[in-house]
Amino acid sequence: MRIAIPEPSLPIISVAEHKSVHSLAKALYDSCTAEGFIYVCDHGIPQEVIDKAFAISAGYFDGELEDKVHLSVDIKNNTGYTAIRQESSGDLKELFHFADGHWRTVNGVKQQNLPAALEAARADLDTFVEYTNALAARLLEGLAVALKLQSDFFTSQHTGELNRMRMLHYPPVPNDHKDLDPTQADIRAGAHTDYGSITILFQHLVSGLQVRRNGSWVDIAPMKGCVVINIGDALEFWSGGLFRSTLHRVVMPRSQAELASRYSIAYFVHPDNNSVLDAVMDGSNGVLLDRFIVSKGLPPGTRRISGGDYVQHRLNATYDAVKK
């Protein structure tokens, strides 16, 4: 009997297989121009480092309520705790943003204060961030070469100062979905694109992530040994629209297994404060820049956007409801 093995829903790239940056660039080019979503395996982040990060995250979210919420989101620094439905999208998720501690100290800024559950695990979180930054650097080099740029074009403008590790918890949903607010549409994470350059996404066990493809939603199940990489809006712009930043979401449970808590970790690779977002591949004489500015709600007529201003602008939009 032949057993049908389901096709993976995304292309798979093994980083270790590509010894040279040119070979990696070639592999990245097709997926990034098509949809910008890829499973990446043999990525160099040890499984025990990932398992540890998930254990820390579960310990934090399941811990004492007071410890969990007392360092609430700091929109300016993009750090801290965001509660369920706190974002303007009303998502049924809670999250904690952890900044790369290396940068926070090097720049003379005091390290990010952490809740006790995370403070106790600071060294392990730093290790996770270090490995993930190393993967980000390899991918950014590959992406620069794929665009026929110098291999350090992106890494020199993504030193990690605005990168954030986002620990996510989607709380369990009751079988009848009854305790949910009937006045609001329920979604674990509403359809969105990521605003940074690339996102490195670690999914734990529970599925629910979907990506928009040809007018339908396609499931991107957790795959052991793989992370999901996706292109964000900043890199779509930088590449003159060549690389694609695609809509994705996390749906409400469709099975018994999905009713459980869902944990994931998204690592957002953001352009540096002083980088300048510039459509390097753009042959459109500014038309693309204008379209980007309008679509992201930036002041019309903006001619130069620094990475710092851009990230802040997107953050303000995300937390609009909080400020009002």
Ligand X SMILES: O=C(O)CCC(=O)C(=O)O
Q: What residue ranges bind Fe ion (CB under 5 A)?
A: 194
Nearest residue to Fe ion by CB is: 194
Question: Interacting stretch for ligand X, rule CB under 6 A, among 51-59, 126-134, 145-153, 201-209?
Answer: 201-209
Closest approach of Cβ 324 to ligand X, in Å? Answer: 23
Binding status of residue 198 toward ligand X by CB under 6 A:
no
Comparing CB distances to ligand X, the nearer of 146 and 201 is: 201
The b/e string for 104-142 (b: 16+ C-beta within 10 A; e otherwise) is beeeeeeebebbebbeebeeebebbbebbbebbbbbbbb
Closest approach of Cβ 201 to Fe ion, in Å? Answer: 7
Of 139, 165, 173, 189, the one binding ligand X (CB under 6 A) is 189
- Side chain identity, residue 162: L
Closest approach of Cβ 108 to ligand X, in Å? Answer: 30
DSSP codes joined into one string, 295-324: HTTPPTT---EEHHHHHHHHHHHHTHHHH-
CB 107 within 8 A of CB 101: no
- For residue 263, give the H/E element and its range: strand 262-269
- For residue 269, give the H/E element and its range: strand 262-269
270 binds, among ligand X, Fe ion, none (CB under 5 to 8 A by kind): none
Comparing CB distances to ligand X, the nearer of 15 and 168 is: 168
Binding status of residue 248 toward ligand X by CB under 6 A:
yes
Closest approach of Cβ 159 to ligand X, in Å? Answer: 22
Listed in sequence order, the residues at least 6 apart from 73 whose beta carbon sits closer than 8 Å to its beta carbon are: 79, 80, 81, 82, 86, 97, 319, 322
Longest dimension (CA), the chain: 65
166 binds, among ligand X, Fe ion, none (CB under 5 to 8 A by kind): ligand X
Comparing CB distances to Fe ion, the nearer of 87 and 194 is: 194
Site for ligand X in 132-171 (CB under 6 A): 166, 168
- Rounded CA-CA distance 217/319 in Å is 26
x/- mask, ligand X, residues 256-295, rule CB under 6 A, reads --------x-x-----------------------------
Q: Which token pair is 275?
A: 């980088």
Comparing CB distances to ligand X, the nearer of 18 and 253 is: 253
List the alpha helices (DSSP H) in 76-212. 101-106, 116-119, 122-146
